[in-house]
Amino acid sequence: MRDLKDIYLKLKEYEGRYSLEMYDYERTLIVDAIERLIPVKAIPNKNSLTGKQEYNYWVCPNCNQAFAGMLDYCYHCGQALDWKDSFYDNE
């Protein structure tokens, strides 16, 4: 995973020197980084046998990795998470 610091350092390296090739590559990294800053809803992590959500377990919609707790950011990929209107759906 590329984090914001990697992208920042890469951009500093290219400062004052522009090429289309660099632009496309860096643009992909920047778009990816910005997308991870925009909060998205975590997906309830359902038990494959019962179909019910595992207690307080969620799946990141960006990297599809599971995590526990209502985190502000996925600790696998850094995706910002939105918990507005989220609830356990076992009720």
Nearer to Zn ion, 2 or 76 (CB): 76
Q: Is 79 in the site for Zn ion (CB under 5 A)?
A: yes
- Interface of this chain with Zn ion, residues 37 to 66, rule: CB under 5 A: 60, 62-63
Instruction: For the beta carbon of residue 76, count every other beta carbon within 10 angstroms.
Output: 14
Nearer to Zn ion, 5 or 17 (CB): 5
Q: Let me know the angle formed at the C-alpha of 57 by 55 and 59, rounded to the nearest 5 degrees.
A: 150
Nearer to Zn ion, 10 or 76 (CB): 76
Identify whether the C-beta of residue 41 lies closer than 8 Å to the C-beta of residue 86: yes
Least Å distance, CB 62 to Zn ion, is: 5
Indicate which single residue of 59, 66, 77, 80 sits in contact with Zn ion (rule: CB under 5 A): 77
Instruction: For the beta carbon of residue 7, count every other beta carbon within 10 angstroms.
Output: 17
Q: What share of the chain is helix, strand, coil (3-state, %, to 5)?
A: 30, 20, 45
The residues of the shown chain that bind Zn ion, judged by CB under 5 A, are: 60, 62-63, 74, 76-77, 79
